[in-house]
Amino acid sequence: MRFYEYESRRIVERAGIPVTDYGFATTAAEAGQAAERIGGPTVIKSQVLTGGRMKAGGVRFADSPEQAEADAAEILELEIGGHVPVGVLVDPKAEIEQEYYAAVLWDGRAKRPMMLFSDMGGIDIEQVAAEHPDHVGRGHLSNLHPIADFEAKQAVARCGMTGSALNRASAVLARLARLQRDYDMTLAEINPLARLADGSFVALDAHMEMEDEAVGRHKPMLHEIGVDLDEPRELYEPSEFERNVKAIDAADHRGVIQGKDHGFHGDLGLVIGAGGGSLTLTDAVRSQGGRPANYAEIGGNPSVAKSKGLAIEVLRKDGVEKIAVMMSIVSNTRVDIVARGVIKACLELGKDPAETIAIFRIPGAWEEEGYRILDRYGVEYCDRSVSMWEAAGRAVARVQGDRTGSQ
């Protein structure tokens, strides 16, 4: 789960990390009032769940409350990468002595969180790591033992820092490390972390991502900072197909179906499963010249209604005349139940299953029963002796046969 900058700031603030005296506004008038209260020059920042705000014109510098209000009015109307801002953050323009970078994130290979600190903040950390590796301090953390302050100090010292800056920065990093652990953040990043003229450190921008699987156990904190859990936070706006499949899945607890069509524009509908099988089959279709209309994952023995629902949504997509129903060998999901579902989808849409189902390749549990159903409706099917690749190839050939036939 991703957070807006204003939410990330509230999270770091709660963890005892100093932030500027910022304001969050959803209207231009509120932004003007916030600038008035802050006093002096301000920075107005668009609140969107995407990067590249600066380039897109989503960050402006204002000298007066009037200017802040005018800038906010424009930013609130500005879509960035397809995202409409939920508001603006009004920040005092700080007198910065130096910018730093602080983050805590997972190192999957070590299976531990890792702290990262750099005295070259404000810019792309990847670039710093490549060009100035001695300016990046790192340190792994235990998952079991308490996080000790010295561990943060070591990481900061490893990038060459000393003096009172070392001590103040270490305190920030230790708090960030505890925050990462306490709230299951996959990424807890402050960039830039600024040292002001008086030597104090403040977080000027923060980027937090909470692991989706852990959201349930942090509801009190999320509620406190005003996060609406029902609000979708996708990287892109879900399509009608994606929304419909999600609704079908949610309506029935039996089995799991997922469907995506972001980036797919083809004419062969895919009713496929499960995780690994879906990836393998999508590759097999594409590698043999097929053009998938969607991606899907079926698993956990869905009901007839659920399989039917997915097939109907796929068949309703523009330009889709045929579906390929394929999976790797199943042991939990039942072949006959999926067969009933996809045939029923065809019948309800007034289509002939034999013409509409390009291929049915699901070997495994209850396959004999499934094949009897498919026989009855004249649907082309195959068992495990026909590979996933071959089955995908047959489906592609049938769709291409249609295409050349109609030309």
Residues 74-113 that bind another protein (CB under 8 A): 103, 105-109, 111-113
Least spacing, CB of residue 109 vs another protein, in Å: 5
Report the C-alpha gap between 191 and 194 in whole angstroms.
8
Q: Residues 232-271 vs another protein: string with x where CB under 8 A?
A: ---xx--------------------------x--------
Q: Which of 31, 128 has the CB closer to another protein? A: 128
Site for another protein in 269-298 (CB under 8 A): 273-277, 279-280, 282-284, 286-287
Q: Contacting another protein (CB under 8 A), which of 184, 355, 380, 402?
A: 184
Report the C-alpha gap between 116 and 139 in whole angstroms.
7
Q: Which of 149, 209 has the CB closer to another protein? A: 209
Amino acid identity, position 295: Y
SS (H, E, C) the chain: CECCHHHHHHHHHHCCCCECCCEEECCHHHHHHHHHHHCCCEEEEECCCCCCHHHHCCEEEECCHHHHHHHHHHHHHCCECCECCCCEEEEECCCEEEEEEEEEEEECCCCEEEEEEECCCCCCHHHHHHHCHHHEEEEECCCCCCCCHHHHHHHHHCCCCCHHHHHHHHHHHHHHHHHHHHCCEEEEEEEEEEEECCCCEEECCEEEEECHHHHHHHHHHHHHCCCCCCCCCCCCCCCHHHHHHHHHHHHCCCCEEEEECCCCCCCEEEEEECHHHHHHHHHHHHHCCCCECCEEEEECCCCHHHHHHHHHHHHCCCCCCEEEEEECCECCCCHHHHHHHHHHHHHHCCCCHHHHEEEEECCECCHHHHHHHHHHCCCCECCCCCCHHHHHHHHHHHHHHHHHHHC
Q: Which of 40, 263 has the CB closer to another protein? A: 263
Least spacing, CB of residue 164 vs another protein, in Å: 27
Least spacing, CB of residue 245 vs another protein, in Å: 17
Q: Contacting another protein (CB under 8 A), which of 214, 247, 251, 354?
A: 214
Q: CB under 8 A: which stretch of 63-71, 86-94, 184-192, 312-320 binds another protein?
A: 184-192
Q: Residues 45-64 vs another protein: string with x where CB under 8 A?
A: --------------------
Q: Which has the closest alpha carbon to 181: 223, 215, 147, 205? A: 147
Q: Which of 337, 358 has the CB closer to another protein? A: 337
Least spacing, CB of residue 231 vs another protein, in Å: 19
Q: Which of 296, 304 has the CB closer to another protein? A: 304
Number of residues that bind another protein (CB under 8 A): 77
Q: Which of 94, 129 has the CB closer to another protein? A: 129
Q: Contacting another protein (CB under 8 A), which of 219, 253, 384, 403?
A: 384
Answer whether 299's CB lies under 8 Å from 256's CB: yes
Q: Contacting another protein (CB under 8 A), which of 95, 131, 198, 213?
A: 213
Site for another protein in 332-371 (CB under 8 A): 332, 334, 336-337, 340, 343-344, 347, 364-365, 369
Q: Contacting another protein (CB under 8 A), which of 93, 168, 181, 243?
A: 181
Least spacing, CB of residue 372 vs another protein, in Å: 5
Q: Which residue's entry shows tokens 């045939």? A: 343
Amino acid identity, position 9: R
Q: Contacting another protein (CB under 8 A), which of 27, 64, 303, 400?
A: 303
Answer whether 38's CB lies under 8 Å from 80's CB: no
Q: CB under 8 A: which stretch of 28-36, 90-98, 166-174, 302-310 binds another protein?
A: 302-310
Answer whether 13's CB lies under 8 Å from 24's CB: no
Q: Which of 66, 283 has the CB closer to another protein? A: 283
Q: Which has the closest alpha carbon to 91: 174, 8, 16, 169? A: 8
Q: Which of 19, 305 has the CB closer to another protein? A: 305
Site for another protein in 108-167 (CB under 8 A): 108-109, 111-114, 116, 124-126, 129, 136, 138, 142-144
Site for another protein in 305-324 (CB under 8 A): 305
Q: CB under 8 A: which stretch of 36-44, 146-154, 178-186, 224-232 binds another protein?
A: 178-186
